[in-house]
Amino acid sequence: MRSWKSNHISSTLTLILYLITILHHEVNHSHAQTQTQNNNTGYTCSTNQSNYPCQAYAFYRATSPNFLDLASIGDLFSVSRVMISNPSNISSPSSSLVPDQPLFVPLTCGCNTINNTFGAISYANMSYIIKPNDTFFLVSTIQYQNLTTFPSVEVVNPSIVPTNISIGESVIFPIFCKCPEKNNTTQFQNMITYVVQPSDNISSIASMFGSQEQSIRDVNGNDFQVYDPVFVPVTQLPVLSQPSVVPSPPPPATATASDDDRTGTVRGLGIGLGVTGFLLILVTGFWVYREVLLKGRVWLVRDEENQKKQKNNMYMGGKEGKGNKERDLNLMANVSDCLDKYRVFGFDELLDATDGFDESCLIQGSVYKGEIDGEVYAIKKMKWNAYEELKILQKVNHGNMVKLEGFCIDEEETDCYLVYEYVENGSLYSWLHEDRKEKLNWRTRLRIAIDIANGLQYIHEHTRPRVVHKDIKSSNILLDANMRAKIANFGLAKSGMNAITMHIVGTQGYIAPEYLADGVVSTKNDVFSFGVVLLELVSGKEAIDDKGNLLWVSALRTFEVDNEQEKGRRLKEWLDKDILRETCSMESLMGVLDIAIACLNKDPSKRPSIMDIVYALCKSEYTGFDISYEGIDSPRVMAR
Ligand SMILES: *[C@@H]1O[C@H](CO)[C@@H](O)[C@H](O)[C@H]1NC(C)=O
Ligand SMILES: *[C@@H]1O[C@H](CO)[C@@H](O)[C@H](O)[C@H]1NC(C)=O
Ligand SMILES: *[C@@H]1O[C@H](CO)[C@@H](O)[C@H](O)[C@H]1NC(C)=O
Ligand SMILES: *[C@@H]1O[C@H](CO)[C@@H](O)[C@H](O)[C@H]1NC(C)=O
């Protein structure tokens, strides 16, 4: 059916698609302009207001095809499924959603100082990993449904060139929000960010959320533009009415949505082209186009359903043979939050893949290499319950983190196995400290340092609650085929901050002194360990030598000189002789050494934050190669 339509209308379609593209540009353009007038770089706030930060909510609608389950929407907003299902009156966090299903997504709304031009802006930080074909504009308008705007994304990511974003890069999308003022006579507990839809007016918005028109005007003024966010103050979050049963495919909902689109677009075209006679053909064309599009969408949905079913069957199949389902289910209940995101491997599959956990498949420690269905994985046998690591990895999804692909529970032994992506080039430790023909050059080392820092920045600043890795060391840094670094092994990681623990874990030579002494856990523990890894990169020496001497102690002693020239001389003596052979600037080496030493400050509060580190390292990368290609002995560089 689709093929005859395509044949008949393909040429018309091409034309129409072309026109849509032009029009889309025009519409976007004009919209962008009106928005600029409306200060769409964000909503200013004052940092000395005591009402920030607060918990706020965004009103979000499930959309086909990518956002029809709470897990993917949760990922988008860095919250768990339960954190959305609870305020949204959804009983089962794992149920699938229908397009346009209303949701309340919790936001941590903060007042963030940007710079002198923009002052402070209130928003919730969302870290988003760029995927193919993403632009700031598309992600703001489609994935985030205009809860933010691309100019604001540019403002909060000053270091990123919007026309040159790379896949896998992490970008902050500021979701607009406001905290209710405390001095109001009516005590508003919650503020909902809502994006005005074409069919809305202020009274419909007020009644939708059980708020008053006047309260909305008090917060937002009187100017309401379609697709602009408005902040709706409410004393209490309204109870959303949810479809009780997932209805059969959603043409009615989709049709209304695209009806609006269609009239809008057609009107636009009419004006844009100024050829009224053409209109009729176009309307017909659109109808056909829409038909095809809708069919395509329904197809997609069905396809997805089928896939889900198949997956479920697979999980069940893998388990049934083993019997003892009940215990299995108990174990599963523990990790049920993760079930839908990961593949559950059967124990037999793992046995097959690793020749029964044969030594020949051993990578390191309790990690085995195994091939399942043509894919190579790293399989880690866990001595203790993997729930913590699973819980943390579930929130962590970043290009500089080793990705968890699935897990397996062996009910007979009550063992647990985590299955990760296989990272081809092994650990940084093996590259630095084991006999290898190839050596890492300085540029690669610097890139590795930046990758690790980016990964740490992600877990320190963009996960909620924050995650402290607690075991950063060169053997936990893996290098992929392109020698890009990924952080592995979240077995000791802890979420939550500034906790005190009596149970000291970590690796000698990398542990921060305050953690060793008092058990204080904070992101600054990781900063310290990262400083040690930087020393390893510069010196090629191990964090702890055969005699038990700590690298960081000797580094602090060696470089405790004020004279820059003397420091440079000592650095040349101290650094990895493999680096000496190549062309790289002393300035870059010295920059990294300085960062390392700052990270090793005995007072955790004086260590730089990971954000400062990322910035400083990137600067070292520039000074290392783009400005100066002079050799290591170049007098200009040495004089510094
Ligand atoms: C966001 O706004 C743009 C106009 O700037 C509009 O075309 C788009 O449909 C809106 N997105 C949603 C999800 O409503
Ligand atoms: C784009 O980014 C890449 C790496 O992020 C960089 O190498 C390249 O020079 C950039 N291009 C422009 C035009 O800024
Ligand atoms: C609350 O305080 C702000 C300044 O802090 C002021 O602008 C606003 O008018 C006050 N609102 C009420 C209702 O008193
Ligand atoms: C939740 O949604 C259901 C289904 O629409 C509705 O019947 C119910 O009244 C809603 N409210 C509560 C508090 O459950």
pLDDT-above-70 percentage for the chain:
71
C-alpha torsion 165→68→190→148, nearest 10: 20
Q: In what order do the strands lie in the sheet with 102-115?
A: 170-176, 119-129, 102-115, 54-61, 190-195, 229-234
In our burial notation (b when 16+ CB lie closer than 10 A, e otherwise), range 126-136 reads bbbbbeeebeb
Least confident piece of the model among 1-5, 54-58, 533-537: 1-5
The ligand whose atoms approach the alpha carbon of 48 most closely is: 3
pLDDT, greater one: 207 or 397: 207
Report helix, strand or coil for 390.
helix
- Predicted confidence at residue 320, as pLDDT, reads 34
CA of 226 to the centre of ligand 3 (A): 27
What's the rounded mean pLDDT across residues 382-405?
Answer: 75
Task: Calculate the alpha carbon distances from 354 to 152, 311, 367, 410 in Å.
Answer: 50, 23, 10, 15
What's the rounded mean pLDDT across residues 318-345?
Answer: 50
- Pick the residue whose CA is nearest to atom 10 on ligand 1: 141
For residue 65, pLDDT over 60 is answered with yes
Structure tokens at 586: 């002393």
- Predicted confidence at residue 535, as pLDDT, reads 96
- What are residue 422's phi and psi, to 5 degrees? -90, 125
Q: Quote the CA–CA distance of 448 and 474 in Å, as a whole number.
A: 11
CA of 141 to the centre of ligand 1 (A): 5
What's the rounded mean pLDDT across residues 610-625?
Answer: 81
pLDDT, greater one: 262 or 415: 415
DSSP code of residue 105? E
CA of 142 to the centre of ligand 1 (A): 7
The ligand whose atoms approach the alpha carbon of 49 most closely is: 3
Atom of ligand 4 nearest to the CA of 243: 5
Which residue among 44, 48, 183 is best mutated to probe the pocket of ligand 3, counting the most ligand atoms within 8 A of its Cβ? Answer: 183
- pLDDT band, very low/low/confident/very high, at 232 (cuts 50, 70, 90): very high
- Pick the residue whose CA is nearest to atom 7 on ligand 4: 241
The ligand whose atoms approach the alpha carbon of 621 most closely is: 2
- pLDDT band, very low/low/confident/very high, at 6 (cuts 50, 70, 90): very low
- pLDDT band, very low/low/confident/very high, at 249 (cuts 50, 70, 90): very low
Tell me the DSSP string of 489-555. --TT-EESSSEE-SS--S-TTTS-HHHHHH-EE-HHHHHHHHHHHHHHHHH---SB-TT--BHHHHH
For residue 96, pLDDT over 60 is answered with yes
For residue 599, pLDDT over 90 is answered with yes
- pLDDT band, very low/low/confident/very high, at 339 (cuts 50, 70, 90): low
CA of 243 to the centre of ligand 4 (A): 9
DSSP code of residue 44? B
- pLDDT band, very low/low/confident/very high, at 385 (cuts 50, 70, 90): low
Q: Which position among 471, 480, 518, 545 bears the catalytic label?
A: 471
- Pick the residue whose CA is nearest to atom 2 on ligand 3: 183
Q: Quote the CA–CA distance of 324 and 330 in Å, as a whole number.
A: 11
- Pick the residue whose CA is nearest to atom 10 on ligand 2: 164
Average pLDDT, the chain: 75
CA of 233 to the centre of ligand 3 (A): 15
Cis peptide upstream of residue 65 (ω within 30 degrees of 0): yes
pLDDT, greater one: 588 or 29: 588
Cβ pair 366, 418 in contact under 8 A: no
- pLDDT band, very low/low/confident/very high, at 244 (cuts 50, 70, 90): low
For residue 456, pLDDT over 90 is answered with yes
- Predicted confidence at residue 637, as pLDDT, reads 25
What class has domain 430-496+509-638?
Answer: mainly alpha
pLDDT, greater one: 583 or 275: 583
The answer, yes or no, to whether any atom of ligand 4 lies below 6 A from the CB of 239, is: yes
This prediction has a pTM of 0.46
- pLDDT band, very low/low/confident/very high, at 473 (cuts 50, 70, 90): very high
Cβ pair 504, 516 in contact under 8 A: yes
Query: Which CATH code is given to the segment(s) 341-421?
Result: 3.30.200.20
The owner of tokens 């008090």 is 218
- Is residue 352 flagged as an active site residue? no
**74-85, pLDDT tens digit by residue?**
889 988 888 898
Domain residue extents for the chain: 15-43+113-234, 285-340, 341-421, 430-496+509-638
- Predicted confidence at residue 341, as pLDDT, reads 67
The answer, yes or no, to whether any atom of ligand 2 lies below 6 A from the CB of 166, is: yes
- Predicted confidence at residue 87, as pLDDT, reads 92
- Predicted confidence at residue 453, as pLDDT, reads 95
For residue 279, pLDDT over 60 is answered with no
What's the rounded mean pLDDT across residues 264-270?
Answer: 32
Strands (E), 302-358: 343-344
- pLDDT band, very low/low/confident/very high, at 143 (cuts 50, 70, 90): very high
Look up residue 156 and give its amino acid.
V
- Predicted confidence at residue 388, as pLDDT, reads 66
The ligand whose atoms approach the alpha carbon of 85 most closely is: 4
- Predicted confidence at residue 495, as pLDDT, reads 59
Cβ pair 474, 538 in contact under 8 A: no
Q: Quote the CA–CA distance of 462 and 108 in Å, as a whole number.
A: 12
- pLDDT band, very low/low/confident/very high, at 93 (cuts 50, 70, 90): confident
Atom of ligand 1 nearest to the CA of 35: 5
pLDDT, greater one: 628 or 365: 365
CA of 622 to the centre of ligand 2 (A): 12
Look up residue 437 and give its amino acid.
K
- Predicted confidence at residue 273, as pLDDT, reads 34
**575-592, pLDDT tens digit by residue?**
888 887 776 778 889 999
- Pick the residue whose CA is nearest to atom 14 on ligand 4: 89
- Sort strands 404-410 and 375-382 into parallel, antiparallel or unpaired: unpaired
Which residue among 92, 98, 241, 246 is best mutated to probe the pocket of ligand 4, counting the most ligand atoms within 8 A of its Cβ? Answer: 241
- Predicted confidence at residue 302, as pLDDT, reads 34
- pLDDT band, very low/low/confident/very high, at 543 (cuts 50, 70, 90): very high
Task: Calculate the alpha carbon distances from 190 to 51, 89, 109, 210, 367 in Å.
Answer: 11, 16, 11, 12, 48
- pLDDT band, very low/low/confident/very high, at 392 (cuts 50, 70, 90): confident
Which residue among 88, 89, 90 is best mutated to probe the pocket of ligand 4, counting the most ligand atoms within 8 A of its Cβ? Answer: 89
Atom of ligand 1 nearest to the CA of 141: 1
Q: How many CA atoms lie within 13 A of 21 on its CB side?
A: 6
Q: How many CA atoms lie within 13 A of 578 on its CB side?
A: 20
Atom of ligand 3 nearest to the CA of 182: 1
CA of 89 to the centre of ligand 4 (A): 7
- Pick the residue whose CA is nearest to atom 14 on ligand 1: 145
- pLDDT band, very low/low/confident/very high, at 519 (cuts 50, 70, 90): confident
Structure tokens at 38: 């409306």
Residues near ligand 1 (Cβ within 6 A): 31, 141, 145-146, 227
DSSP code of residue 19? H
CA of 118 to the centre of ligand 3 (A): 22
How many other CB atoms sit within 10 Å of the CB of residue 377?
23
pLDDT, greater one: 43 or 37: 43
Q: What angle do CA 566, 473, 477 make, to 5 degrees?
A: 110
